[in-house]
Amino acid sequence: MRRFRLRWLLLIVFCYPLWSAADSIEPAAITIIIDDLGYNLNQGMRAVALPGPVTFAVLPYSPHSKKLAEAAHNRDKEVMLHMPMDNGSGLSPGPGVLTAKQDQTTFRQQLEQAIQAIPHLQGINNHMGSSLTQNTQRMKWVMASLKNRSLYFVDSRTTALSVAGATARRQHIPSLERDVFLDHDPTPAAIDKQFKRLIKLAKKQGSAVAIGHPYPSTLGYLENVIPKLDAMGIFLVSPSGLLMLKQAKTRNTETHSDKALVIAALPTNRSHCTITEQLERRIVTC
């Protein structure tokens, strides 16, 4: 199953310029990351059971971190390290926190140990970190460790002054930035408002990244809404998938006559198709 999904994603990426030229309908992509996994096993397992490629950011050294990371991986979900970073407010981000007071050796050892503590990692994002993510030198140290391990970085943007995303780009680290927090206010009405904002941004920008938490209200909302994404013209991808799609959009490609002829022969009226069906048809043409 994992091999099939990877093949499906690779076909989407490399065929993207062809289908976007052939169709007026271009589905928007969203990425949903659930933070703070590791302390509540029941809610963590409920989160991992969410449909689709939802991604899970696991806190290092938490009681259920390894079990939840394994459970997510076994369901073909992407796993991230939710790395505690200094927030400057005196609130404790938890064990393994990175701070500006640490020298480079201590800092990078702390990060390496946290990376090793969570199995199946493909990337990291910051837990708290409103202070540390403003520190360019410390963010360079983070990116150097990620480069050695071929991991991506997602800037949670807990502060508008964060330099983490910009530092990642300068260091040529695959990176994304959070667009929407789903549940800063965990009431159902507020989550719905934020999710609608996510969809609006995705349709405007082509993609958008949301971060939520394993609150019962958030999980209940996502259990209900994710199966409806197809009808909204939205498809859900992991951070790795979104990074690949972004690369495909910016890549200069040459149109090959044989592929163009195949696409031209396809029906042009696809309004009756779901987004998934449209993607499947486009894949067949490549």
Q: What percent of the chain has pLDDT over 70?
A: 79
pLDDT of residue 72: 98
Mean pLDDT of 13-34: 64
Query: Which domain covers residue 92, as residue numbers?
Result: 2-284
**Residue type, position 150, single letter:** S
**DSSP per position, the chain:** -HHHHHHHHHHHHHHHHHHHHH-S---EEEEEEEEEETS-HHHHHHHHTSSSS-EEEE-TT-TTHHHHHHHHHHTT--EEEEEEE--SSS----TT-B-TTS-HHHHHHHHHHHHHHSTTEEEEEEEE-TTGGG-HHHHHHHHHHHHHHT-EEEE--SSTT--HHHHHHHTT--EEE--EES-SS-SHHHHHHHHHHHHHHHHHHSEEEEEE---HHHHHHHHHHGGGHHHHTEEE--HHHHHHHHHHHHS--PPPHHHHHHHHTS-S--TTS-HHHHHHHHHHT-
Structure tokens at 68: 């939840």
Percent of the chain with pLDDT over 90: 69
Angle between helices 2-22 and 275-284 (to 10 degrees): 90
Q: Is the pLDDT of residue 57 over 70?
A: yes
Distances from the Cα of 168 to the Cα of 32, 101, 139, 159, 187, angstroms: 20, 21, 8, 16, 34
Confidence of residue 9 (pLDDT cuts 50, 70, 90): low
Work out the pLDDT band at 241, boundaries 50, 70, 90: very high
Q: What's the CATH number where 280 sits?
A: 3.20.20.370
pLDDT of residue 212: 98
* Per-residue pLDDT at 39 exceeds 50: yes
Per-residue pLDDT, 275: 39
Give per-residue pLDDT as tens, 88-124: 777 777 888 999 999 999 999 999 999 999 999 999 9
State the pLDDT at residue 11: 45
Residue entry with tokens 């640490």: 102
Q: Which residues contact 237 (CB under 8 A, 6 or more apart)?
A: 9, 29, 30, 31, 53, 245
Write down the mean pLDDT value for the chain: 83
- Count of structural domains, the chain: 1
More confident residue, 228 or 26: 228
Strand pairing of 180-181 and 28-37? unpaired
In the predicted structure, residue 261 carries a pLDDT above the cut 60: no
pLDDT grade for 26, boundaries at 50, 70 and 90: low
CA angle (81 as vertex; 79, 87 as ends), nearest 5: 145
